[in-house]
């Protein structure tokens, strides 16, 4: 994109943390911003803050709710104009021990982390294609969507969380290829630790009927909570990286230098598994 000014963006999970930081960075470039979240007080604060810099609106939205998503999309475009930047950022950090596999938690985590991204795409991408004016999509995955065995316990986040984030990476990579001829770029955000309250939200919003976490998963969450406060990248840094990716149509957005080693190890393992000759 040559210029972001005058465009309209829609950001889920936009009332706090990474989502709000992205919304701030977009607002600073003259983008009208709609933020969606579940937290009413945080939404009000976000709208008040963003309105000082740009046209801004806030909407209560559970990204799992398909019909509500469509209704919000219609309202956003009626109030702020056609959306050409979509940031599917809402997500939840949770998992369960394999010995306690349970459909309730699977549906919840996949519903937010994977289906929530798809619902955003379904709500806006056909409109963007029909208008023919290009645009950009950012889908938030995680470094946990690129590998499963980093040095930090944080990167061994449980099979359920990894599955949801790998899904977002694959969806983003394939959609990028299919939308290129429409002039719509796609980036996938794969952050490492970021100084937000995401772990607290994961604990607060967990379904009441979800199975009890194993000691390992509780330890992972404790490590994550301490790590993001002590070593996490500031959300404002992530916001600027996302805007840079939108402007320059970058496919990947990573935030942690220590991700290089486990990513390289995974790629090498894949390459080593490729047959040297065709298997008969």
Instruction: Quote the pLDDT of residue 173.
Output: 98
Distinct helix (H) and strand (E) counts, the chain: 10, 7
Confirm whether 3 is domain-assigned. no
Question: Looking at 43-57, 117-131, 223-237, which range is the least confident one?
Answer: 223-237
**Residue 252 CB partners (closer than 8 Å, separation 6+):** 187, 188, 190
**Residues 85-98 pLDDT 10s:** 999 999 988 888 88
Confirm whether 232 is domain-assigned. yes
- Could you identify the residue written with the tokens 């945080």? 42
What is the CA 200 to chain-centroid distance, rounded? 17
Instruction: Quote the pLDDT of residue 126.
Output: 98
* Residues in a beta bridge with 83: 8
Confirm whether 159 is domain-assigned. yes
Query: Range of 186's domain?
Result: 8-273
Rounded to two decimals, what is the model's pTM? Answer: 0.92
Q: What is the mean pLDDT of the chain?
A: 91
Confirm whether 18 is domain-assigned. yes
Instruction: Quote the pLDDT of residue 154.
Output: 56
Whether 252 is catalytic: no
Domain count, the chain: 1
Rounded CA gap, 224 and 242, in Å? 22
Residue 193: closest CA among 220, 224, 164: 224
Catalytic residue among 59, 69, 161, 252: 161
CATH of the domain at 69: 3.40.50.720
Tell me what the mean pLDDT of segment 28-51 comes to: 97
Instruction: Quote the pLDDT of residue 225.
Output: 72
Q: Which two tokens stand for residue 214?
A: 């194993």
Quote the radius of gyration of the chain (alpha carbons, Å).
19
**Residues 136-190 pLDDT 10s:** 999 999 999 999 875 555 566 789 999 999 999 999 999 999 999 999 999 999 9
Q: Is the dihedral of CA 109, 113, 119, 120 positive or negative?
A: positive
Rounded CA gap, 110 and 131, in Å? 31
**Residues 265-276 pLDDT 10s:** 999 999 999 998
Confidence of residue 18 (pLDDT cuts 50, 70, 90): very high
Confirm whether 147 is domain-assigned. yes
* Residues in a beta bridge with 194: 233
Phi, psi values for residue 64, rounded to 5°: -80, -15
Confirm whether 85 is domain-assigned. yes
Question: Looking at 7-16, 117-126, 139-148, 189-198, which range is the least confident one?
Answer: 189-198
> Up-side HSE of residue 228: CA atoms within 13 Å toward CB?
22
* Residues in a beta bridge with 139: 88, 188
Confirm whether 230 is domain-assigned. yes
**Residues 205-219 pLDDT 10s:** 776 777 677 677 777
Contact (CB, 8 A) for 29 and 1: no
Q: Which two tokens stand for residue 173?
A: 């990579």
The strand order across the sheet containing 56-60 reads 56-60, 32-37, 8-12, 83-88, 135-140, 184-190, 252-254
Instruction: Quote the pLDDT of residue 209.
Output: 73
Confirm whether 2 is domain-assigned. no
Contact (CB, 8 A) for 141 and 190: yes
Tell me what the mean pLDDT of segment 185-204 comes to: 83
């Amino acid at each position: 994109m040559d210029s972001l000014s005058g465009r309209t963006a829609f950001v889920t999970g936009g009332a706090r943390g990474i989502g709000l930081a992205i919304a701030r960075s977009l607002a600073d470039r003259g983008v009208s911003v709609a933020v969606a979240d579940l937290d009413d007080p945080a939404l009000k604060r976000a709208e008040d803050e963003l309105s000082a810099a740009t046209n801004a609106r806030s909407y209560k939205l559970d990204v799992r709710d398909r019909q509500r998503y469509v209704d919000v999309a219609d309202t956003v475009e009626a109030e702020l104009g056609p959306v050409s930047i979509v940031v599917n950022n809402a997500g939840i950090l949770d998992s369960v021990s394999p010995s306690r596999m349970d459909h309730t938690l699977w549906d919840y985590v996949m519903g937010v982390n994977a289906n929530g991204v798809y619902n955003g795409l379904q709500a806006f991408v056909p409109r963007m294609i029909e208008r023919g004016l290009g645009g950009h999509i950012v889908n938030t995955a995680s470094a946990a969507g690129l590998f499963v065995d980093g040095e930090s316990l944080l990167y061994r986040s449980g099979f359920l969380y990894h599955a949801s984030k790998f899904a977002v990476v694959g969806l983003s990579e394939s959609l990028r290829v299919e939308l290129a001829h429409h002039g719509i770029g796609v980036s996938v955000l794969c952050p490492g630790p970021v100084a937000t309250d995401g772990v607290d939200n994961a604990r607060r919003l967990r379904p009441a009927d979800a199975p009890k976490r194993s000691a390992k998963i509780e330890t992972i969450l404790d490590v994550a909570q301490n790590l993001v406060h002590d070593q996490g990248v500031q959300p404002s840094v992530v916001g600027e990286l996302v805007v840079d990716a939108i402007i320059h149509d970058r496919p990947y957005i990573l935030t942690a230098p220590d991700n290089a080693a486990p990513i390289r190890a995974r790629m090498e393992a894949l390459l080593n598994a490729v047959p040297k000759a065709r298997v008969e």
